[in-house]
Structure 1
């Protein structure tokens, strides 16, 4: 019995067009007249046609490689943002490395694209990905709120490698910031620290919906043996503001992304780790050796790639109705900036 599932061939027959024209129209090829492309897409929607992005990627790759072994392509999209800390580059590099390793194991390869200053526009990116037959995108973390609504999400599946994205709302894979902060504070308490202080740039907490600060306060409220030190949350890190806070509240360990704070602590007479400690909230952004949290970007990149490939294999493109978030706890890394337990 003939299948009722619409195909490229049945669409072409119904529209009186060639199969190649219908295929080119659905993947956004500029070779097709815009009016014809609009008619094809309208007919495909009404018929309930859903193209298979892996099949399209297969044909695109075979055409480029002239018959070589197939490896599907995934785009890793980074954002060139002037406000993003320069130290974040190492973290992003690890994310891409994890994605590349896992993609290779699953028969895919990753290509990196940069959007924004010095990179391509979102509209240009859409054209490039469509013409290359790339329908899976891993979005690297953005410092400011990213906006990729101009991509034709009917043909793409996407995963964001940070806490939350709204434009559009996609599935995410990110560190478990709240749980990781609680674990770090518990470890510091076990090492004998009783006056932890938190130094944060305001934007770094806001973009995570205040998870660092919330976990810090919750720990202090539920551990009376640890003295509450008011967190120092600032627009921008400055030595003067830090020194004033450090001398007034006397934290015995400082937790922060900003490892330059160790220099400021030492200028106040602190001897690290003999009298005071320091913990980096992201060891991939440290500027000198220290203990801290490894947010495991390589693992995040690998997990994001697994989830993205699974979407492609299920032919799930578009913006999900219910975006899901997968979180991965950070790993504690010992270092010379905290005291060690004696055997």
Structure 2
């Protein structure tokens, strides 16, 4: 018997001897269908070579969404407010809520920020608030070594996190590709005649990038003569203001002629050591933003990180996916080199 050229859910329902509603629920991953019927429907769909109509699927999502008045079209952005970690200073950059809101509005979602640790907001209390407001989508922005965000129960949510600071639970993740970023910056510096390129950051930054800084530096140095390889400096504290002695010792021992590091404190330390940039040392900001126009840097394009995170949330909600995924999806955004007066032309 010849199978239909363009099988429909009606064809699948007829082949299985079940209702159209049952087939529809199985194909969109909805709950409350027995495993036996689910396997039967999926087997017949494969045999009939069923191909869903994406335009129809999107329209049906809108129709179903209007029926679910309990669920609000709001994405929660979860931050952490733990001052003693030293991770809330201007030294550290996070994805601005404006970027997230801009993308979410394009999908028809509003955005609300919640700060764990501020005004007595605990993970348990936040869980109750999100449930009471019918919020199903959350974007997690870890900003503390204590990681109170890791104590939430993510089973009711479609969730995404920024970076790898919270490795457990392992949510879907969006991050900048800093292995590529460090290599890109090193190439730009080498093209300008710099030979001894050093990277000075904190362990928090390295871990959040999934070792992208150390990995990128190692990859670059692999092709250098041993005498030109400057070891990575990990500051002894996440509070950069406490790092001058370690920095001065590292500079004296290894004498890099170009640095990839923070925009705060380090420029002042270089002047304190009698060094000028770009005359004596090239200076590159590892996490450049448009407000740092006087420096060269690696631009991590956080507007694209925000867009990717929102898109992942919307995709999960449309597919009825909640909880910690079996396999974590990771979206890596390539950074961009930005020229500036802190390096030779």
Aligned to 1:86: 89
Superimposed CA distance per residue, residues 205-238 of structure 1 (whole angstroms, 9 cap, x where no aligned partner): 2343432122112211213498112222221342
Aligned to 2:49: none
Aligned CA distance change for structure 1 residues 270 and 102 (closer, same or farther; 3 Å):
same
* 1:59 partnered with 2:69: yes
Tell me, which stretches of 5 or more residues in structure 1 are unaligned? 7-43, 62-70
Q: CA deviation at 1:327?
A: 0.4
Aligned CA distance change for structure 1 residues 265 and 164 (closer, same or farther; 3 Å):
closer
Aligned-residue Cα RMSD (Å) equals 3.1
SS of the residue corresponding to residue 215 of structure 1 reads: helix
Aligned to 2:314: 309
Structure 2 matches for 1:141-152, cutoff 5 A?
Answer: 141-144=142-145, 146-148=147-149, 151-152=152-153
Alpha carbons 2:165, 2:204 under 8 Å: kept = no
Q: CA deviation at 1:120?
A: 1.5
Correspondence for 1:248 among 236, 253, 262: 253
Superimposed CA distance per residue, residues 184-210 of structure 1 (whole angstroms, 9 cap, x where no aligned partner): 111111111111122122332234343
Runs of 4+ with deviation above 6 angstroms: 44-48, 285-288
Aligned CA distance change for structure 1 residues 101 and 288 (closer, same or farther; 3 Å):
closer
TM-score (structure 1 length as normaliser): 0.75
Aligned to 2:44: none
Q: CA deviation at 1:243?
A: 2.0
Q: CA deviation at 1:172?
A: 0.2
TM-score (structure 2 length as normaliser): 0.74
Aligned to 1:322: 327
Aligned to 1:274: 279
Q: CA deviation at 1:134?
A: 0.8
SS of the residue corresponding to residue 75 of structure 2 reads: strand
Aligned to 1:128: 129
Aligned CA distance change for structure 1 residues 315 and 47 (closer, same or farther; 3 Å):
same
Aligned to 2:74: 73
Q: CA deviation at 1:302?
A: 1.1
SS of the residue corresponding to residue 281 of structure 1 reads: strand
Aligned CA distance change for structure 1 residues 302 and 235 (closer, same or farther; 3 Å):
same
Correspondence for 1:283 among 280, 284, 288: 288
Structure 2 matches for 1:175-190, cutoff 5 A?
Answer: 175-190=176-191
SS of the residue corresponding to residue 155 of structure 1 reads: coil
Structure 2 matches for 1:161-176, cutoff 5 A?
Answer: 161-163=162-164, 165-176=166-177
